[in-house]
Amino acid sequence: MAKNIWVFCEQRDGEIQNVALELLGVARELAEKTGEKVGAILLGHNIKGKAADLIAYGADEVHVVDDERLGMFVTEPYAQAVTQIAKEHTPSVILFGATSIGRDLAPRLSARLKTGLTADCTKLEMDEEGNLFMTRPAFGGNLFATIICPDHRPQMSTVRPGVMKKLDRDDFRKGEVVEENIAWDESKFSVTVLEEVAECQTCGQIENAKLLVSCGRGVKDVAPARELALKLGGSVASSRALVDAGVMDHGCQVGQTGKTVRPQAYLAFGISGAIQHLAGMEESEFIVAVNTDKNAPIFKVANLGIVADAAAVLKNLNKILQ
């Protein structure tokens, strides 16, 4: 009988990704409901040492595969490892970050394990019987659908980064670390990594920023926005318009096709607020919007909306904060 809530804990270059900790947080919440355990899957090379972090953030047991085949992410070795562990321990739920890794691996596994998968969830709830209710946006964020997977286990979902809350770190938490042995089928390893190159460092990790200065079509010159972000200790972000125009990097894009952020403050300059953009930032704690069009949809989500020229306001902000 399937039991326990598991999280695939994504790491990159040996660093546990924030989304993994967020998922442990929500898994903890779900597990309380049914009295199940929270399990973590940790795959990588020279990664064992990180298992303790996962326990500190809410895992009761960590299933580790520390193997050089798992150093860089490639679908097949990762899929083999998760499949074997999952088949042995039969978790009731496996959660993945909805990242370019989670969204590659999870559907492959769902087909291999012959179970359902719900993509890019923004809300998870559980009933006493252990049925997971997975809510996700559809139609460009215009519609929310709640999906269930009643007759198949594990119930699988990828969860949007930045949406769930991680727990406070607790180094006194107790948990078990289990090292798993995998019987590799290397004949299936037909994809070779020729190189792996880091990029997009310019904009900082906008998902982790406390404050974002975000620019849209109404801002022609982004230099004052960068200056303001620096002064406020935040990062710059962007709507799709400026990314398409080549002014901003794709890594800075907020919205349906970019990133989801929930900083403490989101300052939107010259962003009209297409529904796809709102989907990526409306959970921010405090939203300021500056736009010349008083009917712009961004004002519907703004806590403080100001009808004014974004460039002029940016200039004045930089002056005041000198």
C-alpha torsion 153→158→162→163, nearest 10: -50
Rounded to the nearest whole angstrom, what is the least distance from the CB of residue 307 to other proteins in the complex? 4
Could you give the CA distance from residue 89 to residue 225 in angstroms, rounded to a whole number?
51
> Given the complex with other proteins, which of 76 and 227 has the nearer CB atom?
76
Site for other proteins in 273-302 (CB under 8 A): 274-276, 282, 286-288, 290, 294, 299-302
Closest CA to 24 of 47, 42, 12: 42
Pick the piece of the chain touching other proteins (CB under 8 A) from 40-48, 58-66, 73-81, 168-176: 73-81
Residue whose pair of structure tokens reads 């739920």 in the numeric block = 93
Tokens of 40: 């973590």
> Given the complex with other proteins, which of 46 and 148 has the nearer CB atom?
148
Site size toward other proteins, by CB under 8 A: 92
Rounded to the nearest whole angstrom, what is the least distance from the CB of residue 46 to other proteins in the complex? 18
Site for other proteins in 30-69 (CB under 8 A): none
> Given the complex with other proteins, which of 174 and 198 has the nearer CB atom?
198
> Given the complex with other proteins, which of 1 and 198 has the nearer CB atom?
198
* CA dist 316 → 15, 167, 222, 311, 312 (Å): 40, 39, 14, 9, 6
Helices 102-113 and 75-89: crossing angle, nearest 10°?
Answer: 50
Rounded to the nearest whole angstrom, what is the least distance from the CB of residue 23 to other proteins in the complex? 16
C-alpha torsion 37→40→41→42, nearest 10: -150
The SS3 of residue 102 is helix
Q: Phi then psi for 132, rounded to 5 degrees? A: -95, 130
Rounded to the nearest whole angstrom, what is the least distance from the CB of residue 269 to other proteins in the complex? 10
Closest CA to 269 of 243, 293, 245: 293
Q: Is 319 in the site for other proteins (CB under 8 A)?
A: yes
Site for other proteins in 175-234 (CB under 8 A): 188, 190-200, 205, 210-211, 232
> Given the complex with other proteins, which of 242 and 290 has the nearer CB atom?
290
> Given the complex with other proteins, which of 21 and 301 has the nearer CB atom?
301
Could you give the CA distance from residue 174 to residue 121 in angstroms, rounded to a whole number?
29
- Of positions 20, 120, 235, 237, contacts other proteins by CB under 8 A: 120
Residue whose pair of structure tokens reads 């991680």 in the numeric block = 166
Q: Is 305 in the site for other proteins (CB under 8 A)?
A: yes
Site for other proteins in 84-103 (CB under 8 A): 99-101, 103
> Given the complex with other proteins, which of 56 and 122 has the nearer CB atom?
122
Chain CA centroid to CA 220, Å: 30
Per-residue contact track with other proteins, 251 to 270, x per CB under 8 A? x----x--x----xx-x---
The radius of gyration computed from the CA coordinates of the chain, to the nearest angstrom, equals: 21
Rounded to the nearest whole angstrom, what is the least distance from the CB of residue 176 to other proteins in the complex? 30
Per-residue contact track with other proteins, 126 to 155, x per CB under 8 A? -------x---xxxxxxxxxxxxxxxx---
Chain CA centroid to CA 289, Å: 24
